[in-house]
Every structure is written in C-alpha cells, then in structure tokens.
C-alpha cells in the first residue's frame, strides 16, 4: 500500500553516482510502492518521492486437452499467455520422468505437442509448467490421459453345430477393445480356397460367428482378426479343426407338380408330360421316381442329374393322357445322404385336338367354309 513498506530494505553500501538495486521474490501482477534512500560520504541522507511499478501478470495456460490419443502417442493442445516457454512433464506416475519443451509467444496463442514412445493401455500423468521472461518456472496442475490399448483376441472357442444341412462350426472369442470381426478359413490342403467372413460392426467383449457350408471330414485352418476405429489390428493364433461326418439327409421343400399335353414330334399324336420342381436346403442332385396308379412302389425313374444345386426341375415326358400317376423327388448330397419328398399323386390332362385342327374348326364356325 502507498506509504507502507517492507521492513527489510535492500541496499548497496558502495559509494557510486549511478545506483541500481534488484528487487526479487515479487508477486506477479502486483503494484508495489517504493522510495529511494541515499547516504553520502559525510553521512548526509536523502529520500525520494514515492513511486510505484506493477509486475507483469504470471504466465498461464488454459484450454488444456488431449484431442488425439493413440497406442504409443498423444497430442496435447493448450493456450498460453505471458509465457516464453511451456515445459510438459509426463510419465506413468506423478514422478513423471519425461519432459518436452514448447517455445511460446508472450501473447495469447494456441500450441500442440506430440508425446511419443508411450506404452499402450497406460495411464499417464502430466503437467504444463510455464516460464516467464525472467526464466522463473510456474507449477501447473497435474492431469492425466490413458493411451489406447492394443487390440487383442483371446479365448477362441470352436463348437460343431449338429442337425445342419452341411457341417457348421460356431466360433466364439473375446476382444479387449471394440473391433470388427473377420474369420479367414480354408481346408488345410487348399489355402487357395480361403474364405473371409466379415462382420464390420465393432464390438468389445464377446464375439460370435457361424461358419456354414463346410466340407465333411475335412481339416480346416482358421485365423480370426479385427480392426479398431483407428486402424489398429488384432489377430488370433492359428486355429485348426476337423469337421464331422455329414450323416444328415437333405431336406426337400416347395414341391410343385404340373402336367400338360404336348404334341409328339409334330404329328397328330399327343402325349402328357409332368413338370416337377422343388428346393433343398443344401446342394444336391435331382431325380424323380414315378409309376402309374397309386401305391408305394415306383416302376420307373428319371436319370439322376448329378449337378448339385439348391433348386431343382425335372420333366417327365411321353406319359399317357388321362392317367393317374404317383411320384416322389429324390436328392442326394455330396456325402451320399439321400432325401425324398412325400409321395404325390397327379392326373395327366385329357388329350385335345392339335392346334391346327382347333384353328380350322374356329374358322369353319365363323366363316362357314372349308366344310368337308
């Protein structure tokens, strides 16, 4: 305060004409009042009028953030004022151990600093100490951030699924972070046949995936991988498994039976044909057994189409019109398991005049000519 001074008075006893005294340990941003006193060789003293000065504001930092955190690095952003330098101390404990300096402008400005060579999945303490123009260091507040853990895949489990059309395996595993799911698998003796099954949804914790359509009694190689939002990848150890024997017959569904009358070799003779279509739940061959009348025995069968497919179509030609037939579809899978449809009874249509005769009859009725 004006007129009130500290008891301790810095002084210099050397007799000089130009006088300089340094005042230390002052508070920043504070107004100080002072008077100068002097004594000559004869002991005469004098006192100046009171004057004042204001020390500079202390350097500060604000808006401290860590906008980007990786596996082994982090970006620290801050805004400083009245600082000529900011020193970032960091480490896995509050004892720190690492430091990085950023030269700054005394005017308010924003800076970023990249901290490298960190450990993944580790919490780091850090503080930003500021320095004024005299080199005095000001303590900052201790903060912390945690680096991203490296993605890991653990606890891989494989379970054979029973009762499926083709051998299937249920995969389960766990990840410590949110990652996508990719299962790459192939028969051990045919790596060129590798298949990638992908689920792009990022999940942390438990994952599951069903591998279906596998070959029976076949040794497979499997690797599970995943990627987090920053592109960091994880991969499991190589897994091997052997599929079970395929003993389940294919299931037939959507059986459709249609009959029609057709001309025989363009002559006036007509015959009936039956078109049979059906679906199977796995790739299978196509064949139909059939016979006249009803019953449980089938006198004839079509030639087996050994092309394995899910959708089937068989045409039986050369049948008699106005006859009762019964039939069933047969499908064999790659393992030799045979599936059959239920017995179906159908009646072929009556024979009709050929198309030319029908046209002539219509013309006769309309115009009354060409009458025999």
The answer to whether residues 327 and 282 belong to one domain is yes
The more confidently predicted of residues 370 and 364 is 364
The strand pairing partners of 81, in sequence order, are 60
How far apart are alpha carbons 268 and 264 in whole angstroms?
A: 7
| Residue 31 in domain | yes
The answer to whether residues 26 and 40 belong to one domain is yes
The CATH number of the domain holding residue 103 is 2.60.40.10
| Residue 352 in domain | no
Q: CB within 8 A of 336, min separation 6: which ones?
A: none
What is the pLDDT confidence band of residue 195, given thresholds at 50, 70 and 90? very high
User: Does the structure show a pLDDT above 70 at 359?
Assistant: no
pLDDT of residue 24: 83
Mean pLDDT to the nearest integer, 113-120: 96
pLDDT in tens, 48-74: 999 989 888 899 999 999 999 999 999
Q: CB within 8 A of 187, min separation 6: which ones?
A: 193, 215, 218, 219, 220, 221
How far apart are alpha carbons 45 and 48 in whole angstroms?
A: 10
Which among 85, 120, 146 is the end of a domain? 146
Q: 3-state DSSP: the chain helix, strand, coil percent, rounded to 5?
A: 5, 55, 45
| Residue at token pair 């500079």 | 56
State how many domains the chain has.
4
How far apart are alpha carbons 68 and 230 in whole angstroms?
A: 11
How far apart are alpha carbons 288 and 256 in whole angstroms?
A: 12
The answer to whether residues 41 and 66 belong to one domain is no
Chain-centroid distance, C-alpha 140: 40
The answer to whether residues 104 and 190 belong to one domain is no
The answer to whether residues 237 and 312 belong to one domain is no
pLDDT of residue 112: 97
User: Does the structure show a pLDDT above 60 at 94?
Assistant: yes
| Residue 355 in domain | no
Residues in the chain: 372
Helix (H) / strand (E) containing 229: none
Which among 124, 146, 168 is the end of a domain? 146
What is the pLDDT confidence band of residue 42, given thresholds at 50, 70 and 90? confident
| Residue at token pair 């690095």 | 73
User: Does the structure show a pLDDT above 60 at 286?
Assistant: yes
308-320 core/surface letters (b: 16 or more CB in 10 A; e: else): beeebebebeebe
- Contact assessment for residue 341 and residue 329, using Cβ atoms and an 8 Å cutoff: yes
The answer to whether residues 23 and 107 belong to one domain is no
Q: Which two structure tokens, joined as six digits, stand for 36?
A: 């100068």
What is the pLDDT confidence band of residue 164, given thresholds at 50, 70 and 90? confident
pLDDT in tens, 216-269: 889 999 999 999 998 999 999 999 999 988 888 999 999 999 999 987 665 667
> What does pTM read for this prediction?
0.59
User: Does the structure show a pLDDT above 80 at 337?
Assistant: yes
How far apart are alpha carbons 294 and 325 in whole angstroms?
A: 7
| Residue 364 in domain | no
Q: Which two structure tokens, joined as six digits, stand for 344?
A: 């179906």
Percent pLDDT > 90 in the chain is 69
| Residue 359 in domain | no
Rg (CA), the chain: 47
| Residue 361 in domain | no
Burial class (CB in 10 A: 0-12, 13-18, 19+), 274: buried
The strand pairing partners of 74, in sequence order, are 69, 115
pLDDT of residue 10: 85
pLDDT of residue 218: 93
| Residue 198 in domain | yes
Q: Within a 13 Å sphere around the CA of 340, how many CA atoms are in the beta-carbon half?
A: 9
SS3 282: strand
Residue 16: C-alpha distances to residues 21, 32, 49, 230 (Å): 12, 25, 20, 70
| Residue 353 in domain | no
Mean pLDDT to the nearest integer, 159-170: 88
User: Does the structure show a pLDDT above 80 at 363?
Assistant: no
The answer to whether residues 168 and 229 belong to one domain is yes
User: Would you give the end-to-end CA distance of the chain in angstroms?
Assistant: 142
Region class of 183: left (phi > 0), else alpha (psi between -120 and 50), else beta: beta
Which residue range(s) make up the domain with 11? 1-55
What is the pLDDT confidence band of residue 351, given thresholds at 50, 70 and 90? confident
User: Does the structure show a pLDDT above 70 at 339?
Assistant: yes
Residue 253: C-alpha distances to residues 75, 167, 311, 347, 372 (Å): 61, 20, 10, 21, 53
What is the pLDDT confidence band of residue 214, given thresholds at 50, 70 and 90? very high
The answer to whether residues 180 and 233 belong to one domain is yes
How far apart are alpha carbons 254 and 314 in whole angstroms?
A: 14
How far apart are alpha carbons 151 and 215 in whole angstroms?
A: 32
Which among 213, 242, 271 is the end of a domain? 242
């Amino acid at each position: 305060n004006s007129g009130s001074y500290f008891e301790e008075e810095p002084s210099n006893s050397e007799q000089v004409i130009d006088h300089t005294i340094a005042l230390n340990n002052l508070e920043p941003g504070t107004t100080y009042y002072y008077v100068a006193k002097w004594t000559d060789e004869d002991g005469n003293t004098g006192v100046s009028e009171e004057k004042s000065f204001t020390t500079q504001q202390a350097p500060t930092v604000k808006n401290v953030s860590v906008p980007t955190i990786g596996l082994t690095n982090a970006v620290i952003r801050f805004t400083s004022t009245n600082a000529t330098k900011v020193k970032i101390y960091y480490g896995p404990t509050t004892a720190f151990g690492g430091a990085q300096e950023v030269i700054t402008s005394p005017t308010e400005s924003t800076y970023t600093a990249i901290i490298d060579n960190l450990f993944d999945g580790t919490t780091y303490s850090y503080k930003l100490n500021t320095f004024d123009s005299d080199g005095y260091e000001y303590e900052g507040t201790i903060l912390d951030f945690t680096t991203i853990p490296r993605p890991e895949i653990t606890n891989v489990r494989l379970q054979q699924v029973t009762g499926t059309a083709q051998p299937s395996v249920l995969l389960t595993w766990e990840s410590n972070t949110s990652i996508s799911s990719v299962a790459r698998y192939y028969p051990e003796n045919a790596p060129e046949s590798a298949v990638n099954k992908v689920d792009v949804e990022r999940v942390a914790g438990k994952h599951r995936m069903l591998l279906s359509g596998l070959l029976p009694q076949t040794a497979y190689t499997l690797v599970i991988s995943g990627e987090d939002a920053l592109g960091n990848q994880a991969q499991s150890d190589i897994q091997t498994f052997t599929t079970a024997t395929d003993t389940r017959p294919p299931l037939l569904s959507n059986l459709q039976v249609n009959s029609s009358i057709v001309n025989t070799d363009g002559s006036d003779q007509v015959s009936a044909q039956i078109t049979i279509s059906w679906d199977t739940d796995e790739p299978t061959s196509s064949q139909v057994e059939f016979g006249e009348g009803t019953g449980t025995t089938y006198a004839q069968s079509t030639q087996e189409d050994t092309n394995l497919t899910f959708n089937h179509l068989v045409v039986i030609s050369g049948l008699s019109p106005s006859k009762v037939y019964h039939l069933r579809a047969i499908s064999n899978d790659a393992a030799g398991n045979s599936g059959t449809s239920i017995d179906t009874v159908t009646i072929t249509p009556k024979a009709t005049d050929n198309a030319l005769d029908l046209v002539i009859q219509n013309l006769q009725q309309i115009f009354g000519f060409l009458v025999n």
